Structure 1
Amino acid sequence: MRLLPTVLSLFAASLSVSAAAELSEPVKAMIDAAIESGNPDTVRTVIGLARQTNPDDAAEIDVLLAAYNEEQAKIAAEAEAAKIEAVRTAGLFENWDGKGELGAFRATGNSSNTGLTASLGLTRQGIDWRHKLRGRADYQRSNGKTTREQYFFAYEPNYQISDRVFLYGLAQYERDRFQGFSGRYAVSGGVGYQIIKQADLQLSAKIGPAYRVTDFNNGQSESRIAGLLGVDFDWDITDRLKLTHDTNAVAETGGSATVIVDSSNTSVNLVTGLNAKVSDKVTARFSYAIEYDSNPPKGAVKTDTLSRATLIYDF
């Protein structure tokens, strides 16, 4: 008979502990409401407060948090898989992002004037591939006479080998008769490396052989084997302010000893810009460009500069 009171006492104590371990309905309702809000910060804040104010129920609260994290991870994985599948099955004309730019410029060098500038850039980001199309036009007429006429177009595909290493290709066309050529065509391919890869700071470099053909204003044409070096720098100073710098240098060597000695040419294009975000779609940009040819056509100077003030629209 002495055993019965002991068993009853232990059973009562067990019921008491179980009751104490159960999370109260108001606290559980508060956690459920936070989860239904869909805001992860709210969920973690509410669960943190619940754990502080209900230390005896910490184990049950941790179970709810673990279940929430597991569900969120599953949702994220499904969304990422759907995104990847959409990219893989996208058509040729799908998944392009674009930027249109319009503004004014100030040029010095082979021409000294102020005029209008316009450009268009398109980017298509795939799983391993990225395609970039760029086009720009600067044009001005004064007193019925063209005083500035420069056109530029480039297509650059990139293939990502690893997190930092990529292969690039480049096909480029330029026209600037004030610099002495009616057309300049270049093709290149090589390897690139992402030197710095952070959320707010990126620096990459690329290098490879190139082949360039130049058609001069006087009707002559020449082709050369070249080497290309490129540097791309982007720094998000703040959420709305961004500094960019792009460098492309092409060093030519002729196909014979005579051309190497007498006709070598190095062209350098430096562009530094400051972007200020006006809205989600519109950005104001000021840029300064230096274009240098070490061996320009007769009558042309080696260095041109171009200052641009533009508005960029993302679409």
Structure 2
Amino acid sequence: MTKRPPVLAIFILSALAAPAQAQAPDEPVVSEVEEPVGPLRVEAPPFIDPVPFIAAEPPSLSRPVKAMIEEAIRRDDSEMLAAVVKVALATQPYDKAEIRAMQRAYLDRKAQALAQRTREETERIRNSGVLELWAGQLELGAFRSTGNTSNFGFTGALKLDRKGIDWEHTVLLNADYQKDSGKITREKYGASYQPRYTLRDGFFTYGRLQYEKNRIQGIDDRYSLSGGLGYRVLKRRNMNLSVEAGPAVRHTDFVTDPTETTWSVLTSFDFDWKVNGTLKLTQTASSYVGSDDSTFTSLTGLEVGVAKGLKTRMSYSIAHETSPPIGALKTDTISRFSLVYGF
């Protein structure tokens, strides 16, 4: 029969077996503090080598907007294209580069075509003959005069123009005639030739040879020769204004008075304004200012187109002599209504 160890011996052995650093049961228990979790790291597989390429069209202008711009270009309408481009830029701001490129391409083609036509026209003018490049107007109608006479009669005029690169030539013929009961009551004729040579910056030189016959006003024949300098004050698409000034000599054969030759100063201006496609306003005036006698003339005209190459013209002219022959009035006025044909 086995003997149990004594109780005291068991207690002593248990005390000796406990660790030396054991915490007393009365001390509080301290828990461990958890550290914060760091960023999440994911290990991704390497890219495929080579990298795959997928073909894709770049962003482009929407089809409806592009179709409107192309239609304006097809019609060759610059104003319509400018309006369409303005709206397209406002509604498609991210495609402004493509919109501007389409507009620039059209304007560049238009400028190149215009430059080519200009070169061809310049070459044609340089190689033209003396009898070429002439354009004219034929005017036929009726008139009513007041002053030295008060009656109705017939009027006619022919104007020829030739415009070159530097030179411009103008020939003008006009006549007013009226016969009443077998007696001539109105007889006025005129002719003039004027060349112009362009200098620079709107300046030009001119010459003028003029003939007049107006027996009602006491002038049997009058010849005038002048030359000087002119300037184009306005030169626009629908409006032109030029002025001239220079010395002049006039030789006059009066009906009753003796013949005389006088020196004077000629000034004149020529203005025309195309109000619209069918309406045009013209105004010319000139003055010969001398020591013994001076002459002032004015012609105002209004033209209205009625058909291709044909228009109606209403005009009012004034002629004033400061020292007319004895028995003649100083001022004559004529109102004309006529048809003008351009060729």
**TM-score clears 0.5:** yes
Q: CA deviation at 1:133?
A: 0.7
Give, in whole Å, the separation in 1 of the partners of 2:78 and 2:238.
Answer: 23
* Residue in structure 2 matched with residue 191 of structure 1 by the alignment: 229
After TM superposition, give the deviation of residue 190 of structure 1 in Å: 0.8
Consecutive unaligned residues in structure 1, runs of 5 or more: 254-263
Q: Which amino acid aligns with 2:168?
A: R
Compared CA separation, residues 155 and 50, structure 1 to 2 (3 A): same
Superposed counterparts of 1:107-146, under 5 Å: 107-146=145-184
Asked if the contact 1:21–1:56 (Cα under 8 Å) also holds between the matched residues in 2, the reply is no
**2:334 maps to what in 1?**
306
Q: How far apart in 2 are the matches of 1:37 and 1:69?
A: 13
Which residue identity lines up with residue 228 of structure 1 in the other structure? L
Cα shift at 1:108: 1.8
The structure whose residues are more often helix, as a share, is 1
Q: Deviations over 1:253-298 (max 9, x none)?
A: 3xxxxxxxxxx00011111222222233222121111111111122
1:81 and 2:119 correspond: yes
Match of 1:289 in 2: 317
Cα distance between partner residues in 2 of 1:60 and 1:74: 21
Task: Pick from 259, 266, 272 the counterpart of residue 228 of structure 1.
Answer: 266
Unaligned runs of 5+ in 2: 1-43
1:32 CA drift (Å): 5.6
TM-superposed CA distance for 1:185, in Å, is 0.3
Distance 1:61 1:243 in 2: 42
After superposition, give the CA deviation of every residue in 1:199-235 in whole Å (9 maximum; x if it has no partner). Answer: 3443322110001111122484211111101122223
- The question of 1:279 aligning with 2:325 is answered no
Post-superposition offset of 1:78: 0.6
What TM-score do you get using the length of structure 2 for normalisation?
0.77
Q: Structure 1 vs Structure 2: percent identity of aligned residues?
A: 40
How many Å separate the matches in 2 of 1:241 and 1:37? 27
Cα distance in 1 for partners of 2:93, 2:244 equals: 57
Count residues with an aligned counterpart.
Answer: 300
- Structure with max Cα Rg: 2
User: 2:331, 2:297 → 1: CA distance?
Assistant: 10
SS of corresponding position for 1:111: coil
Q: Which moved more, 1:54-63 or 1:107-116?
A: 54-63
Q: Which residue of 2 aligns with 1:260?
A: none
SS at match of 2:120: helix
Partner of 1:213: 251
Distance 1:51 1:3, change over 3 A: farther
Greater relative CO (CA pairs within 8 A, separation 6+): 1
TM-score for both structures, normalised by structure 1: 0.84
Q: 1:42 to 1:246 in 2, by over 3 A?
A: closer
The 8 Å contact of residues 272 and 281 in structure 2, kept in 1 or not, is answered as: yes
CA RMSD of superposed structures (Å): 2.8
User: Structure 1 residue 8 and structure 2 residue 51: aligned?
Assistant: yes
Measured in 1, the distance between the counterparts of 2:51 and 2:133 equals: 71
1:284/1:310 contact within 8 Å kept = yes
User: Structure 1 residues 271 and 28, CA, compared in 2 at 3 Å: closer, same or farther?
Assistant: closer
Give the distance between the partners of 1:236 and 1:20, measured in 2 at CA: 50
Output the CA distance in 2 between the equivalents of 1:42 and 1:231: 38
Q: Is the 8 A contact 2:252 2:259 kept in 1?
A: yes
